[in-house]
Structure 1
């Protein structure tokens, strides 16, 4: 979808250097754990797995939390592609290790207490399981005596990146939904509020909070091998795309392969809910972003949070968000690490619903804002026939914080966000 139009990709712009390595194997086996600066490296040396602490080149904030992740081994700028424990980080001073637990699962342990921080929680049917980082970047848990006996794989549990050869879509038998989910911000690796996924009909969508679609791929064009609303998928420089939706496979999914397996192409969904394609260039020692969708930041639903105004600028990396008149940033720290979803808060409480004794003498008024979109849950009030009447209708309802008037129809509702 765009490349899933989205074949998306990338960059969380983490400025960490790739963690140093004291291990050069691709396997974790019973009795041989991965700890501290150790890492697994795939046989083709393209991918690495280990513990890392995120930091950002655009802010002074660093994290005291450790995550287990997969990244490009030869790219000096750490770009996490998959994270195991995004919603349950290892907090200092805990020292973690990755090991095969007594039940055969792959687990992150607190080395001091031996408590489990994260586990694959697979149904293990053998007592000889090992974990291997494949050349594709897929981390698998398998039987050491029978490599075809796979108990668990990271490709079935993606975070914000679509690996070449991995799938986005549904297993209609098991109900497994493989989808991409943005990270909370450039420091916190927890799941964010934006996702890229296929519906059961095979159409791709970018979603806010799993409910509001702000981009759709359209139907798959079998002959052209692209999604109807993603013509950019056509081109000699684009990967090989495959879309499957049939009753025999009992799956509906999208995947792609690279023309050149040595190329370092990062595709995913960023913290701002946009799909990107990034290619690493050694000549500039940086990522070249050659595709992004939606094109404009402000086309992403609720990108700036409540009571804000989003303005599209020439900055391709960060949206321009400003508080509306009478509001201030709710969390300046979050804004600095590129998390604007908390939006802005009201400087002066509304008098609506207050008794005469509680009122301060201030009168609630409306402030006119131009070129603002209505929220998806706006209510239609047919009885209002003028702008003044719209104002009075809204003032009489404490859940109404804004209104728009036009053609003798007033629209009002809880404006959780103005885009």
Structure 2
């Protein structure tokens, strides 16, 4: 019995080692699955030329596993196709991708349940193979007839369009062969962003990008060589022979590589932008050749509802004041689809407490405004406040209000002439909480008093300019006499120095009286200088109310960089009109 046990043990050991050896050889060398064969764990298929690999992968820091195809030889894994986008698995060692005898591929999870399948209706049994090709196409075909394709991954693209791939649809079944972006860099589930081929009576002439049902980009007409709105395709050194194929079964665009053995790919990013990438061997990384839309903020609803898109800042998307991310965990993964929600509900019917508006400057307005026939900004505000569905208003040569969710609000640069003031509605309770959070009441009162004094002084100067031209009275506000300022040149005139310092982004601490020895908070001083410059604008409509001044100094409302007041601009261009204080006194006395 002992001898038999040893032989049995030896046989089992031998078979186990042989099994491991065959699995290792299979994972290294095979590009094909036969009926009954499967992949699990770290086993993979590798295309004949060693270019692409298929197997289980996990994106980024995710704990989920997916069946995917990626470039075999590149240092950083670039996944170009995913099978089970909607149904990830948690244990790839106890799961398997299997080719069934009926010619279907099926992914079984750790419980043995099917989470993904090709669902083909082939009549071929026990004579099919699933093969990974060097163009990344995963093909199920009749082993006795290689041209008899039963199913192929090129008919079911995910977010990548590769050389030889298809972008179009099936004519008989209307099945789309389109691109749908990943939900986030760590989640390949389908997002709302898609790239489709347009269907019309004259053929399939252009590409369209969508956010769900909202179209936000058009490639322009297909000329036979390029799309009119993508001129980069005219002299594209990496892509050639882009063609439109149309027959009774399907209609699609496809292309080939212009440079043999070069890697290029089109990908619909999680940002909702289409990009063409080219692998730069010298740098060991992907370089994008062109992108559409060119600006991220042009992608419809990329930041979700009640958020602001700022092309010049990081992070790109931020919630409006008084709002917070609806799904914080998604925002951390750069998925802003769900946008923001109010921190406090509106108090539309409140008696003791009512809603208020915060002004946002230099904004590009959201979609779908509703026009109202009112004659002033006050009437526009009142009309919005009396409508419980109204979430925001703007008055720019007319009154516009917005109801429902707000999408595509953009923050523009302060010098952008297309930017306008936008008033967002929030609960009074939220306004109070925000005010307390940003500044103490004592600090606000002190700074307000200083700003009010400065504004009054500058307005008086403006009045004297208007009444006494070409004479001007310069007041001492920075610790130096007026004649000292004039003797050193008009450039030292304090209001002008303040405006130029703010506009040029210079150090505002240089404006302080030397006797203060720099004892000031730079951020607060900068805000004070900006609001002071708004207070002396020529047009009364451009000057903030004291309520708005308080909100700005509390940090509740942001203030943009002010333009040069007209009277200061006039004096800058006509310095001869500036007369010293003594001359004004002499003229007055005489």
Shorter-chain TM-score bucket reads: 0.7 to 0.9
Output the CA distance in 2 between the equivalents of 1:327 and 1:311. 16
Instruction: Select 1:125's aligned residue among 111, 123, 126.
Output: 123
Task: Tell whether the 8 Å contact from 1:64 to 1:92 is kept in structure 2 after alignment.
Answer: no
Once residues 64 and 84 of structure 1 are traced to their aligned partners in structure 2, the CA distance between those partners, rounded to angstroms, is: 17
Partner of 2:151: 152
Aligned to 1:394: 384
Structure 1 position 347 matched with structure 2 position 352: no
Shift in CA distance, 242/418, structure 1 to aligned 2, threshold 3 Å: closer
1:215 to 203, 214, 217: 217
Normalized per residue, the structure richer in helix is 2
Partner of 1:17: none
- Secondary structure in structure 2 of the residue aligned to 1:23: helix
1:251–1:121 Cα change, 3 Å: closer
Provide TM-score, normalisation by structure 1. Answer: 0.84
Q: 1:24 matched to which residue of 2?
A: 29
In 2 relative to 1, CA 94–386 (structure 1 residues): closer, same or farther, beyond 3 Å?
farther
Q: In the comparison of the two structures, how many residue pairs are matched?
A: 380
1:153-168 equivalences under 5 Å are 153-168=152-167
Question: What are the within-5 Å matches in structure 2 for residues 8-407 of structure 1?
Answer: 22-55=27-60, 62-92=61-91, 95-110=94-109, 112-127=110-125, 128-201=127-200, 202-209=205-212, 211-222=213-224, 225-244=225-244, 249=248, 251-313=250-312, 320-352=316-348, 354=349, 361-376=352-367, 378-407=368-397
| 2:141–2:150 CA contact under 8 A, matched in 1 | yes
Deviations 1:186-231 (A, max 9, x none): 111100111111110322111111x222211111123xx1111111
Q: State the shift of 1:36 in Å.
A: 0.7
How many Å apart are 1:343 and its aligned residue? 2.1
SS across alignment from 2:355: coil
The residue matched to 1:221 in structure 2 has which SS?
A: coil
Where 2:341 maps in the other structure, the secondary structure is strand
> 1:9 aligns to what?
none
Deviation at 1:143, TM superposition (A): 1.3
The question of whether the paired residues in 1 share the 8 Å contact of 2:95 and 2:112 is answered with no
Separation in structure 1 between the aligned mates of residue 293 and residue 327 of structure 2, nearest angstrom = 26
Question: What residue is the counterpart of 2:504 in the other structure?
Answer: none
Q: Deviations over 1:281-336 (max 9, x none)?
A: 3333222223222221111111112222111138xxx8612221112233333222
Moved more, 406-415 or 26-35: 406-415
Select the structure of larger CA radius of gyration: 2
Contact 1:32 1:99 in 2 (8 A): yes
Q: Distance in 1 between matches of 2:295 and 2:315?
A: 9
Cα deviation, 1:229-265, whole Å, max 9, x if unaligned, reads: 111111151411434276x556442221102241122
Cα distance in 2 between the residues matched to 1:195 and 1:67: 21
SS of aligned partner of 1:390: helix
1:342 is paired with a residue of what secondary structure? coil
Q: Distance in 1 between matches of 2:129 and 2:231?
A: 43
Aligned-partner Cα distance in 2 for 1:313–1:323: 16
Q: Which moved more, 1:69-78 or 1:96-105?
A: 96-105
Task: Say which structure is richer in strand.
Answer: 1
Give the distance between the partners of 1:135 and 1:51, measured in 2 at CA. Answer: 18
Kept after mapping to 2: 8 A contact 1:170/1:200: no
Contact 2:171–2:251 (8 Å) recurs in 1: yes
1:53 is displaced (CA, Å) by 0.9
CA contact (8 A) 2:300 2:408 kept: no
Q: Distance in 2 between matches of 1:40 and 1:364?
A: 62
Contact map agreement 1:195 1:206 (CA 8 A) in 2: yes
Distance across 1 between alignment mates of 2:245 and 2:388: 48
Q: Deviations over 1:58-88 (max 9, x none)?
A: xxxx211100001111112111111000100
Q: Which runs of 5+ in 1 are unaligned?
A: 1-20, 56-61
Alpha-carbon separation, structure 1, partners of 2:197 and 2:144:
36
Alpha-carbon distance, 1:385 to partner: 4.0
- Give the whole-Å Cα distance in 2 for the aligned partners of 1:72 and 1:93: 20
